[in-house]
Amino acid sequence: MKILIIENEVYLAQSIATKLGELGHTCEMCTSTKDAIRSTNYDVVLLSTNINGQDFNPVIETFRNSIVILMVSYISNDTVSKPLSAGAKDYILKPFMIEELVRKIDHYQDYERLKKRNDAYEKYLSHSFTNAKHGQDLENIELPVFVSSNFQKYADAFAFEYAQKQNLPIHFISLSDPKAMNEIESLAQNVIIYIIDYQTLKKSDKKLFCDLIADKKAIILSSDKLEDMAYPVIEIKSENNVFDKGEILPIEDYVKFIVLNYQDKYPDTELSKKLGISRKSLWEKRKKYDIVKKK
């Protein structure tokens, strides 16, 4: 990583730079905040709050996308509380072991990486579930609950939306995994467990499974029709019920479904091309099926 050390005690800065350099990091040093903000290309900024007469807020603001760790000789409102409120990530009390500093750096680097990954996953899921309308009232759902559906994407949308509404983490498990039962048993009650492939369980294992989830916040998906269950069952069908027939669809039904669900994603030229029809034919089918074009 590229690290900037802002410290007016040159010997201390050189010592920190040497030790971090031995661990493979690239370090640069400066003795004032004015010099520090001339460049922003750093992964980590080690900011000493012992530099008299310096305003630390411009440094913290400039390096808002970096990991800013305060190096302090004493803890006070000015040396710790205010800089942390301004956006610094953490502080370390001088004198310190270099291993402790590296531990803090690694911790926040992992945190930032996971945060970016989580943001990407949330954007992807939001895009993926755009047309997956499960149609359930999430206010009155009590867990554990079973979901019967041939459309995992719709059940996925239901489970992830429910977890988000409850502001709880979600844990995904497939019962096709031989370790699934042990994993379910080990999970705490403050997590939503989304379990798929219930239909793969042997009849003898289903009672054991139902006992196992009795005190869990679990959403269980099965592609089979569920009857005589000890827990509530929700049946989720596709928005248009086109694919719920369990048979090969007529071409006209397929075209109608595609137009209804994808006309907001593709311009008419591309949509008609994907369907293998002309734009005029697409217009005629909208008229035939009384489909209002989304804008």
The residue-averaged pLDDT of 134-149 equals 88
Phi-psi label, residue 34: left if phi above 0, alpha if psi -120 to 50, beta otherwise? alpha
Q: Where are the domains of the chain?
A: 2-109, 138-235, 242-289
Residue 117 has which token pair? 């990954």
2-109 and 138-235, same CATH topology? yes
pLDDT exceeds cutoff 70 at 209: yes
| Residue 150 confidence (pLDDT) above 80 | no
Of 71 and 256, the structure prediction assigns the larger pLDDT to 71
Q: For residue 44, which of 103, 93, 96, 115 has the smallest C-alpha distance?
A: 103
pLDDT > 90? residue 131? no
In the prediction, which pLDDT does 166 show?
Answer: 92
Q: Does residue 45 carry a pLDDT above 90?
A: yes
Element (H, E) at 258: helix 251-262
Q: Please say if the pLDDT value at position 183 is more than 90.
A: yes
Averaged pLDDT score across all residues of the chain = 88
Mean pLDDT of 108-125: 92
Give the model confidence (pLDDT) of 258-271 as tens digits.
887 778 778 889 88
**CB-based contacts of 29: which residues, under 8 Å, 6+ apart?**
4, 5, 6, 7, 10, 13, 14, 17
Tens-digit pLDDT profile for residues 215-254: 999 999 998 888 888 899 998 876 555 555 555 667 877 7
DSSP assignments along 65-127, one per residue:
TSEEEEEESS--IIIIIHHHHHT--EEEESS--HHHHHHHHHHHHHHHHHHHHHHHHHHHHHH
Q: Whole-angstrom Cα distance, residue 51 to residue 36?
A: 13
- Top CATH class, 2-109: alpha beta
Task: Identify the pLDDT of residue 240.
Answer: 55
State the Cα–Cα distance between residues 126 and 108, nearest whole angstrom.
27
Give pTM, 2 decimals. 0.66
Average pLDDT over residues 95-104: 94
With a CB cutoff of 8 Å and minimum separation 6, the contacts of 143 are 192, 216, 217, 218, 219
Is residue 35 pLDDT above 80, yes or no? yes
Task: Write the burial class of residue 257 (CB in 10 Å: 0-12 exposed, 13-18 middle, 19+ buried).
Answer: middle
Which tokens belong to 232?
A: 């509530």
pLDDT, residue 294, reads 55
Distances from the Cα of 267 to the Cαs of 39, 272, 286, in angstroms? Answer: 44, 9, 14
For the beta carbon of residue 219, count every other beta carbon within 10 angstroms: 26
Which backbone phi and psi does 96 adopt, to 5 degrees? Answer: -135, 160
For residue 225, the Cα-to-chain-centroid distance in whole angstroms is 31
CATH code given to domain 138-235:
3.40.50.300
The structure tokens listed for 266 are: 């593709």
Lowest-confidence range among 6-10, 66-70, 80-84, 151-155? 151-155
Gyration radius of the chain's alpha carbons = 28
Q: Is the pLDDT of residue 52 over 80?
A: no
Distance CA(79)–CA(77), nearest Å, equals 6
